[in-house]
Structure 1
Amino acid sequence: MRRYIFGTGIIGAVTTGLAMLRELREGQPFTWRTALIWLSWGITVALAVGAIVDRRREVVAAKIARGER
């Protein structure tokens, strides 16, 4: 499970999220550009999690095809 959690997509999404939270704490105004940045971050997180789920399903399917449990 570690190899999925520490994938580059998840690490990138977490570091970007932390940087955006830091910007909010510094008192930057919330504009439409900020909303678009948060939306794109949400899409990035969804894609990273989706890639992890797909990779996990692929591993499980390969084990089933070989007759393992």
Structure 2
Amino acid sequence: MRKYLFGTGLIGAFTSGLSMLKAMREGEPFTWRTALAWLSWAITAALAVGAIVDIRRAGTGHLAPTDSPVAGHEKKYLKEHLEK
């Protein structure tokens, strides 16, 4: 579980979300740029969670979708999972 929680994608999404929350608390006006930043953060967080789901599924023997960065490497993740 630790390898999922401390993945670089989740850490990056978490820290960028914190910096945007800090800017909101300091009284920055909500503009279209702020809305795009929040949209970008949501997409980044969704992609990070999706990658974790794909790695988890590949580690249990399921095939990853073809658009996933894990696609084609399922045997590697299954082997790592079975070694534990």
Matched residues in 1 for 2:16 and 2:33: separation?
Answer: 15
Segments of 4+ moved more than 6 angstroms: none
- In the TM superposition, what whole-angstrom CA distance separates every residue of 1:24-56 from its partner, at most 9, and x where no partner exists? 000000001100000000000000000000000
Higher relative contact order (CA 8 A, sep 6+): 1
Matched residues in 2 for 1:12 and 1:33: separation?
Answer: 19
Secondary structure in 2 matching 1:22: helix
Match of 1:25? 25
Match of 1:52? 52
Alignment of 1:1-69 (within 5 A): 1-61=1-61, 62=78
Matched residues in 2 for 1:52 and 1:5: separation?
Answer: 9
Matched residues in 2 for 1:37 and 1:18: separation?
Answer: 12
Offset, 1:13? 0.4
State the identity %: 69
Query: What is the RMSD computed on CA atoms of the aligned residues?
Result: 1.3
In the alignment, residue 57 of structure 2 is paired with which amino acid? R
Secondary structure in 1 matching 2:60: helix
Matched residues in 1 for 2:32 and 2:19: separation?
Answer: 18
Q: Provide the TM-score with structure 2 as the length reference.
A: 0.73
Q: Which runs of 5+ in 2 are unaligned?
A: 62-77
**Which has the larger helix fraction?**
1
